[in-house]
Structure 1
């Protein structure tokens, strides 16, 4: 009988293992990369701070404008991008693992579309109130539509992506319907939200996404071993004692919570949740929640930094840029797979 090289703790029905060396190395290098990306985000752009001014602002010794620029504008925006990127990366990895489909992600399955439709309809029906309640109702509705996709044996149907396509189509129709009924000012407000943006973010969004991560990530850490066994295959997981339906339902809810937090803080940012898990699994097919979260954070913060240095007076919403880059990446993946299938072995 083999013995694990890493310490194991039992907490009720859940097993907690000490992180492997690869996970520790990923965390160290990923953290360094995040700090470097954060520094670049704060220094680049027209309103960026030079390294010495950045240090002065951090110490509280800068001029009032630079102090405001650092603490109330650039830093909350960058931290929101990091938190939303982590949430999208981890949520995308879970959805792809549960659906066993490389296209499984919150924006493909319909979570983002449901949140967008709920927010827009809420703004239409209850103007003046926070769209967060509408987005929450939209996400819960989509989740209730997805749960029946779990069979009695606890196996998520592979048609989950097809269900997502139908949900996306319905949500887009509802959004277009709402846009025809509102005035121009409300339509502009809706379109700004639907594009996915990190402009004018403050510490309220930082607190919201940090709370979302603090609630969901510890539970996912406890579920990580089960999710890793599920990635090996349904039969293997069952033979090793994994309660399939309970694990998948809990993981589905936690991934939806992460996607909801991301949508509430930055709007429906496209393709980060799809691309990050692909890059995290570049050298294998195993579930990689930590790498997916770190790559998601770097992708979104990098895309937002790029919007700050692009020429022009109007800043491009980060969701438009991620959709362009993510769409190109998805097209490359599909063409590569098509070429691989046509190439004789």
Structure 2
């Protein structure tokens, strides 16, 4: 997987380069760094979320993160106007969106922190209702918007891997590095938690304290990736499912790097095919959501058969 990711990165940097290398390398390098950063963030957050929920089809995006992001974006454009929103410094927009998504995620998943694991159904229903509420409020605000402001919202509502604020990469990389380092330190404790609450308590691991810390890490990772490039609903589900299929293990020391590498190959290789090989204008997020949605249905039907 490392060799495959290296090949994708090399082709992404060199395929069809016609300008001087002094311009091509920095220009494509920033996009490549953003793709890899998003891949690590989304894959790590999804894997940890599935571990603490003990459910292979749940992801933070499915639980309403995307709807919340679009609602916050629509509210900001509606309140301050499209021109004022565009003129705001990207660092401020990034930090506000990240903090808002982090706080909202902790509120959204608070059911898990104060109830037993058997109340997972309530958490799922809470996420579904929360997402439906955000979509309804977003639709209501968009209907009252000026057409020009609505265009601003539409552009920012899709994951954008070709239009990335380079000033945000350093900040997002620092935050993601610290969070991933902490997640790597927790890999053995996550292995114990994946055995079940009863087994974890028997082995001396307090589940609720670990779940609280992991939820904070998940909220930070998802908020950073979403605020950086926009929502991608099924990327995490897709790459984590492939990682489990390839590694055939539930050990996090193998799943963390495997899922991150697969996410990097998916994003970099997909962007290479869409942008350079086929020269399509279709956003990569549309294809990822299509394939990820099919994987979600397959996992759901597989669970029903069992």
Q: TM-score range by the shorter chain?
A: 0.7 to 0.9
Q: Taking structure 1 as the reference length, what is the TM-score of the superposition? A: 0.77
CA distance in 2, matches of 1:100, 1:301: 30
- 2:4 is the alignment partner of 1:33: yes
- 2:180 is the alignment partner of 1:214: no
- 2:201 is the alignment partner of 1:201: no
Displacement of 1:88 in angstroms is: 0.3
Worse-superposed segment, 84-93 or 107-116: 107-116
Q: Which runs of structure 2 are paired with 1:164-183 in the superposition (5 Å)?
A: 164-183=127-146
Q: Does the aligned pair in 2 maintain the 1:109–1:161 contact within 8 Å?
A: yes
Of 146, 158, 161 in structure 1, the residue corresponding to residue 120 of structure 2 is 158
Q: Which has more helix, going by share of residues?
A: 2
Worse-superposed segment, 250-259 or 129-138: 129-138
- 2:286 is the alignment partner of 1:332: no
CA distance in 1, matches of 2:24, 2:139: 37
CA distance in 1, matches of 2:220, 2:62: 16
- Structure 2 residue runs of 5 or longer lacking an equivalent are none
Q: Which runs of structure 2 are paired with 1:105-116 in the superposition (5 Å)?
A: 105-116=59-70
Displacement of 1:136 in angstroms is: 3.1
Structure 2 partner of 1:42: 13
Q: For residues 205 and 195 of structure 1, do their structure 2 counterparts lie closer, same or farther at Cα, with a shift above 3 Å needed?
A: same
- 2:66 is the alignment partner of 1:99: no
Q: For residues 33 and 205 of structure 1, do their structure 2 counterparts lie closer, same or farther at Cα, with a shift above 3 Å needed?
A: farther
Structure 2 partner of 1:307: 274
Runs of 4+ in structure 1 deviating by more than 6 angstroms, as ranges, are none
Q: Does the aligned pair in 2 maintain the 1:99–1:158 contact within 8 Å?
A: yes
Displacement of 1:134 in angstroms is: 4.1
Bigger-Rg structure (1/2): 1
Q: Which runs of structure 2 are paired with 1:149-298 in the superposition (5 Å)?
A: 149-152=112-115, 155=117, 157-159=119-121, 160-282=123-245, 283-287=248-252, 288-298=255-265
Q: Deviations over 1:119-158 (max 9, x none)?
A: 22122213423543245324412321311332356x4842
Displacement of 1:258 in angstroms is: 0.5
Q: Deviations over 1:26-65 (max 9, x none)?
A: xxxx433322221122234xxx32xxx7xxxxxxxx73xx
RMSD value, Cα: 2.3
Structure 1 partner of 2:34: 80
Displacement of 1:324 in angstroms is: 1.3
Displacement of 1:232 in angstroms is: 1.1
Q: For residues 210 and 37 of structure 1, do their structure 2 counterparts lie closer, same or farther at Cα, with a shift above 3 Å needed?
A: same
Structure 2 partner of 1:317: 283
- Structure 1 residue runs of 5 or longer lacking an equivalent are 1-29, 54-61
Q: Deviations over 1:228-278 (max 9, x none)?
A: 100111111111111211110000110110101110111001211111221
Q: Taking structure 2 as the reference length, what is the TM-score of the superposition? A: 0.86
CA distance in 1, matches of 2:214, 2:197: 15
Q: Does the aligned pair in 2 maintain the 1:195–1:319 contact within 8 Å?
A: yes
